[in-house]
Amino acid sequence: MSSKKGNANKSKGRTSANSTHQLVQADKKEDQIYAVVTKPLGNSTFLVEKQNGDEIMCSLKGSMKGKKFERVNKGDLVMAQEILGTSSQQKYCIMHLYNAKERKQLEKLGEFKSYEDVDASNETFEFEGDESVSKNSKPDVNIEVVIDDI
């Protein structure tokens, strides 16, 4: 009888610290887009917002439904692909979930535009006669008048 009871492949499945990870980028030829999850709907479907502002419903790719994948949460960056079918409706499927490190890499490459950058680029305007109000300014209140009223 062998003294090793199935321990021969103990290191199988572990990733080494020196392993290289390739960044998965969207391919426009295959109708892949970047989107941000706005709301999980249940049953592996999500409401996501494309970069142009349109909201679409996406289902999760079948191989991503297992326990080994992280959960998709609100605010996560995903890559979605249009599924070609016989129906006239456009159907999308989430193909890849990006972590924070990959998201920063995509922003540096210019593939994905951060929503903070979009909000900062919107210019604010004021009507004539409007005064800008600072949050740290103290109101002009005479304390002696308030004390005399009491």
Give, for all 150 residues of the chain, the pLDDT tens digit. 555 565 555 555 555 455 457 888 887 778 899 999 999 998 889 999 998 899 999 999 888 887 666 688 999 999 999 988 777 788 899 999 999 999 999 999 888 776 554 444 444 445 455 555 445 555 566 666 666 666
Answering whether pTM is above 0.75, one says no
Residue 140: both structure tokens together: 């002009």
Spatial distance between the Cα atoms of 81 and 25, rounded to a whole number of angstroms = 12
pLDDT, position 114: 67
Domain boundaries defined on the chain: 28-120
Number of helices and strands (H, E) in the chain? 3, 5
Quote the distance between the C-alpha of residue 138 and its chain's center. Answer: 39
pLDDT, position 36: 95
pLDDT, position 47: 95
CA geometry: angle 120, 125, 131, nearest 5 deg? 115
Question: pLDDT tens digits for 94-130?
Answer: 999 999 999 999 999 888 776 554 444 444 445 455 5
pLDDT, position 146: 62
- Smallest Cα–Cα separation from 103: which of 71, 77, 83, 67? 77
Please tell me the CATH superfamily of domain 28-120, with its number.
Nucleic acid-binding proteins (2.40.50.140)
